[in-house]
Amino acid sequence: IERQGGASFAVGADFNVEGSIGMLFEALDAELQARTGTNRFDILVNNAGTPLMSPIETTTEAEYDRVMAINAKTPFFLIQQALPRLRDGGRIINTSSAVTRIAIPDIPVYSMSKGAINTLTLILSKQLGPRGITVNAICPGFVETDMNAGMLQHAESRQFGADFSVFGRWGQPADIANVAAFLASPDGGWVTGQCIDASGGAHL
């Protein structure tokens, strides 16, 4: 961003640690205040997530709690903390998944967690409409990211992911980022409450 003439900074938090969301926003407030004179911002993208490849028969309670905490609980409370800081006319973009419409028995907890994101997206779009804030979810299919590194290492699972799409390939991060950029732009201001499939036509 800075090489292209923009301004940027990073703050981080481990969402497995209790109280980390509050600490994240404290750090964000301090940086924004120092740089812009206010802690207000325009766009929140909830993109943190964790997978779990385990059918219902073998899933432990601890595994269930971990996935739901990162994929469903964390976005909920990030949005809660963001709402008083988010300007009217702003954007909330949640990362969901195409598995909310495609049944994959090996990932029930992950699929449930993303179903929760879709429901939260719908509810918040209704609530925040009077403030001009749009709330949408993007539902990717298989994308070449660190989360899928294990699948990408093996030819069989790599082909499995490619076969989901009508294009016969894995998605690239830019494929998803382009949808997010549209939703964040003025062009996306009349779109809200939507779960937008960005799976490359998976399982049409």
Nearest alpha carbon to residue 140 among 25, 47, 61? 47
Indicate if 64 belongs to the active site. no
The residue type at 186: P
Which of 25, 82, 100, 110 is the catalytic position? 110
Quickly count: other Cβ atoms within 10 Å of residue 131's Cβ: 13
DSSP 143: B
CB 68 within 8 Å of CB 167: no
Mapped onto helix, strand or coil, the DSSP state of residue 158 is helix
- Tokens representing 85 are 């800081």
CB 32 within 8 Å of CB 40: yes
Q: Which helix (H) or strand (E) holds 35?
A: helix 20-36
Residue 112 to residue 103: CA distance in whole angstroms:
11
CA-to-CA dists, residue 80 to 25, 74, 165, angstroms: 11, 10, 35
Q: Which position has the token pair 């994959």?
A: 104
Mapped onto helix, strand or coil, the DSSP state of residue 59 is coil
Q: Which are the catalytic amino acids?
A: 110
